[in-house]
């Protein structure tokens, strides 16, 4: 048996966490529970270099645990270009990469993900209108990219399809890790001009969920939404959103009174 710990959206900088202390506390907690693999589905810092540095330091602290991460939209805001994000920058960075779990028929596939406004198709608004809203209100407007959002999502879908097709060819069961939301069941869209309807368009893509169903992916870890859902089986895939979220005075999303407690509560350990 292999124990895998799942987390997302730690937001160390926003939560004003002492990272050096947290590396020791998190690493010790993971080791005490016999975790073999620790997966982080993005949004560690608002700076990619800081996110990578944290993961590398944590990996050094827990050499017997395999630590892997992907980038969320917050990680992409500073310190990295679009082209760099598409490269295998470090062994711990799993975007458009895969890792077989020794002694099992499981494969972990990672992709940062993106969005294409398809969650808001029923609003019948133009791509330009969504893009204009994004430039005015959304953090992601600070992320440099040479493609439109739908074009970037097509790139993602092509990458994921290739990885899943290879896994099927190799007779591997798949645990898929992404940052953005892959299923509309987690969202609430209304047919009016409420602010959150435009935001929903930026949360992910229904086409990714369709692709995961097509290839019968068994388990998927994602983040981005700072909610507390139980694991959910949808079209044959068990979905895990293990986001820690914000514990600030302005946005207190936690169920506990400290980052460590919330991280421990939200980190899910699965056995494969």
User: Tens of pLDDT along 217-257?
Assistant: 999 999 999 999 999 999 999 999 999 999 998 999 999 99
Q: What's the average model confidence in pLDDT over 35-59?
A: 98
User: Tens of pLDDT along 98-157?
Assistant: 999 999 999 999 999 999 999 999 888 999 999 999 999 999 999 999 999 999 999 999
**Does residue 190 have a pLDDT over 90?**
no
**What local confidence, expressed as pLDDT, does residue 24 receive?**
98
**Does residue 40 have a pLDDT over 80?**
yes
Higher pLDDT, 163 or 188: 163
Number of domains in the chain: 1
Q: What's the average model confidence in pLDDT over 199-222?
A: 97
**What local confidence, expressed as pLDDT, does residue 197 receive?**
85
At 57, which CATH number?
3.60.21.10
**What local confidence, expressed as pLDDT, does residue 94 receive?**
98
Range of the domain at 41: 3-271
Distance CA 140, CA 204 (A): 13
pLDDT confidence tier of residue 195, bands split at 50, 70 and 90? confident
**What local confidence, expressed as pLDDT, does residue 194 receive?**
76
Against a cut of 0.95, is the pTM above it? Answer: yes
pLDDT confidence tier of residue 164, bands split at 50, 70 and 90? very high
């Amino acid at each position: 048996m292999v124990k895998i710990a799942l987390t997302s959206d730690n937001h160390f900088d926003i939560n004003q966490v002492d990272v050096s202390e947290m590396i020791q506390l998190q690493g010790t907690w993971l080791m005490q529970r016999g975790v073999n693999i620790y997966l982080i589905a993005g949004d560690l810092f608002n700076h990619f270099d800081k996110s990578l540095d944290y993961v590398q330091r944590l990996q050094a602290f827990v050499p017997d645990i395999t630590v892997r991460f992907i980038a969320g939209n917050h990680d992409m805001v500073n310190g990295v270009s679009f082209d760099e994000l598409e490269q295998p920058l470090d062994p711990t960075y799993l975007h458009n990469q895969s890792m077989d779990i020794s002694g099992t028929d499981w494969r972990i596939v990672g992709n940062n993900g993106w969005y294409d406004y398809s969650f808001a198709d029923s609003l019948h608004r133009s791509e330009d209108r969504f893009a204009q809203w994004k430039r005015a209100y959304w953090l992601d407007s600070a992320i440099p990219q040479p493609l439109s959002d739908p074009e970037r999502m097509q790139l993602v879908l092509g990458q994921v399809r290739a990885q899943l097709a290879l896994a099927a060819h190799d007779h591997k069961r798949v645990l898929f890790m992404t940052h953005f939301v892959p299923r509309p069941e987690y969202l609430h869209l209304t047919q009016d001009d409420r602010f959150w309807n435009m935001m929903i368009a930026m949360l992910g893509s229904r086409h990714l969920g369709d692709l995961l169903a097509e290839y019968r992916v068994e388990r998927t870890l994602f983040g981005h939404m700072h909610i507390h859902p139980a694991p959910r089986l949808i079209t044959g895939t068990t979905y895990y959103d293990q986001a820690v979220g914000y514990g600030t005075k302005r946005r207190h999303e936690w169920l506990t009174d400290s980052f460590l407690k919330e991280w421990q509560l939200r980190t899910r350990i699965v056995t494969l």
